Amino acid sequence: MSAPSDSAFAHVVRAHEDPILGVTVAYNNDPNPVKLNLGVGAYRTEEGKPLVLNVVRRAEEILVSNKARVKEYLPITGLAEFNKLSAKLIFGADSPAIQEGRVTTVQCLSGTGSLRVGGEFLARHYHEHTIYIPLPTWGNHPKVFTLAGLSVKTYRYYDPETRGLNFQGMLDDLSAAPTGAIVLLHACAHNPTGVDPTLEQWEKIRQLIRSKGLLPFFDSAYQGFASGSLDADAKSVRLFVADGGELLMAQSYAKNMGLYGERVGALSIVCRNTEVAGRVESQLKLVIRPMYSSPPIHGASIVATILKDRQMFEEWTIELKAMADRIISMRKQLFDAIQAKGTPGDWSHIIKQIGMFTYTGLNAEQVSFMTREYHIYMTADGRISMAGLSSQKVPHLADAIHAAVTKLA
Ligand code: PGU
C-alpha cells in the first residue's frame, strides 16, 4: 500500500524547456534590466514593446460594437468567409485553382495547427508517409510531422560555408527521394536561415518536384515579412499552383497580422478537381473533429473583417510594410555597428538574409557566453530575431557579438 502522499506521477521526469519558447522563460527569469530577448520570432516596436496593429484594433471595435454577433460554435472547418479570403490572399485574387473550385480551405489553430492537421490528413489518406524537411528548419517541424504519423527525413538546404542556399545539395536530395514523397517548403523568409531560393531556382525546384511526382507542402508563416509585399512573398507558391498540380498550404496570421496568441491560420489543399476537393474536405473534418472539434471565432473574425474591406486591407499592407522595413533597417544598423567595431569575419549575411531572422553563424558556446555576460537571449543555433531588436539596443548587441567572436574564436 502506498502512502496517500505518493503521486501516481512520481516517475514522471522533468522535460527540457522548448528550444525556442524556453528562451522566453529564461529571459523572463532574468532580473537584469539590460536583458534583451532575441529568441522568439515576435515583432517588437522601436520601444521594445509588442505591437497590436491599428487596423486590428479597429476591426475588434467593429466586432465588439456589432450586437448581432453571437458566440455560437463555428462549423468544424471554421469561418467560411475567412477561409475564402485566406485562399485568395496566398494564391492570388485571380487564381485559376480557386476559380475552378478545386481548393479546399479549413481554418486551423495558426500555422502549427494547420501543419498538424495537414500532416494527419496525409498520414491517413496519402500513400507515401515520408516527408522531407529542409536542414535546418523550424525546430517544431519534425515533432509536428512525427506525431501526425509521418516519417521525417531531411534535404540539404543551407551551406554554412557560403551562408547561402545549398541549391545543388537540395536538388540532389530531392532527386533521390522516393516518388510521391512529401516535401516541406518554406514559402518565404526561411526560418531559421533567412535564405530563400531565387525565383529562377524556385522554377527549377518546381520542375524537379513535378517531374518526380513529389507532393509539395508549403509553410507560409511570414507572408509580407520578407519583402514587405504580400504578393511578392507568395510568388513561390503561385508558381506551383499555376501548373495545375496539387499541394498543401499552411498559413499563419501570427506574424503578418500580429495575431500570435489568437491562433489564426488556415490549411488549404489544392486538388486536381472540385470532386476530389470536396471529398478531401469531408475527410479533413474527420481529422479536426476529435482533435479540437472546431476552431475559435474571434481571431478569424478579425482577419475576415480586414481582408474583405478594401480600405482596411490597404491600411494593413501599410502597417505590414512598416514592420518589414523596420526589420530591414535593424539589419543595416547591426551590420554597420559590427563593421565599425572591426569584428573579425564577414558579416554581410546580416544584410543579405531576409525575413525575421539572422542566422549569425555564432556557435552554442558563443551564444551562452552572450547570455551569461550580456543578458542577450537567443536560440542555441545562433539565430537572432531581428524583429526583437531596436536602435537603442544595437550597440549592446554589437558589443556582445564582438566579445563572443574575439574571446571564443
Ligand atoms: N512555421 C514556421 C516556419 C514558423 O517559424 C512558425 C513560428 C510557425 C510555423 C508556427 O507559427 P504559429 O504561431 O503556430 O502560427 N515560429 C516562431 C514562433 C515561435 C515558435 O517556435 O512557435 C519562431 O520563433 O520560430
Residue 285 maps to a domain: yes
Boundary (domain end) residue, out of 263, 291, 308: 308
Tell how far the Cα of 136 is from the centroid of ligand 1, in angstroms: 14
Q: Is 197 in the pocket of ligand 1 (CB under 6 A)?
A: no
Probe ligand 1: pick from 24, 107, 110, 112, max atoms within 8 Å of CB?
112
Q: Which amino acid is at 365?
A: E
Regarding whether 38 and 101 lie in a shared domain, the answer is no
388 lines ligand 1 (CB under 6 A): no
Residue nearest to atom 9 of ligand 1 (CA): 111
Of 308, 335, 363, which residue sits at a domain end? 308
Tell whether 212 and 332 lie within a shared domain. no
- Identify whether residues 156 and 242 lie together within a single domain: yes
**In the prediction, which pLDDT does 409 show?**
75
Our answer on whether the CB atom of 24 is closer than 6 Å to any ligand 1 atom is no
176 CA distance to ligand 1 centroid (A)?
Answer: 29
User: Does residue 30 form part of some domain?
Assistant: yes
Ligand 1 centre distance from Cα of residue 189 (Å): 12
Q: Do 232 and 260 have their domain in common?
A: yes
CB neighbours of 123 closer than 8 A, spacing ≥ 6? 129, 148, 149, 150
Q: Are residues 117 and 159 in the same domain?
A: yes
Question: Is the Cβ atom of 265 under 6 angstroms away from ligand 1?
Answer: yes
Ligand 1, atom 15: closest residue by C-alpha: 111
Ligand 1: residue of 23, 25, 86, 140 to mutate (most ligand atoms within 8 A of CB) is 140
Where are the alpha helices (H) located in 293-393, listed in sequence order?
298-308, 310-341, 349-352, 364-374
Whether residue 390 contacts residue 46, with contact meaning beta carbons closer than 8 Å, is answered with yes
What CATH number corresponds to the domain at position 384? Answer: 3.90.1150.10
What is the model's pLDDT at position 4? 61
* Ligand 1 pocket member 20 (CB < 6 A): yes
* Whether 346 and 263 share a structural domain: no
Query: Cβ(39) to ligand 1 under 6 A?
Result: no
Surface-to-core class of residue 186, CB atoms within 10 Å of its CB (0-12 exposed, 13-18 middle, 19+ buried): buried
**Residue 188 and residue 234: Cα distance in Å, rounded?**
7
| Ligand 1 centroid from CA 221, angstroms | 7
105 with 38, same domain: the answer is no
Residues 290 and 350 in one domain: no
Number of domains in the chain: 2
Considering the domain architecture, whether residues 301 and 335 belong to the same structural domain is answered as no
**Is residue 16 situated within a structural domain?**
no
Q: Are 256 and 142 members of one domain? A: yes
Q: Do the domain assignments include residue 293?
A: yes
Helix, coil or strand: residue 15: coil
Which of 327, 304, 326, 328 is CA-nearest to residue 316? 304
What are the residue ranges in the chain where pLDDT is below 50? none
Q: Atom 19 in ligand 1: which residue has the minimum CA distance?
A: 40
| Cα–Cα distance list, 275 to 55, 104, 194, 212, 271 (Å) | 38, 11, 38, 25, 9
Which residue, of 271, 289, 308, is where some domain finishes? Answer: 308
Looking at the domain assignment, is residue 168 inside a domain? Answer: yes
- Ligand 1 pocket residue status of 191, Cβ below 6 Å: yes
CB 140 near ligand 1, within 6 Å: yes
Q: Would you say 378 and 389 are in contact if contact means Cβ atoms under 8 Å apart?
A: no
Q: Which domain holds residue 155?
A: 73-308
pLDDT at 157: 98
192 preceded by cis ω (within 30°)?
yes
- Answer yes or no: is 106 within a domain: yes
User: Is 325 part of a structural domain of the chain?
Assistant: yes
Instruction: Specify which residues 249 forms β-bridges with.
Output: 218, 268
Q: In the prediction, which pLDDT does 365 show? A: 96
Whole-model pTM: value is 0.96
State the catalytic residues: 138, 219, 255
CATH number, domain with residue 89:
3.40.640.10
Residue 369 lies in a domain: yes
> Quick one: 284 and 339 in the same domain?
no
Residues 262 and 367 reside in one and the same domain: no
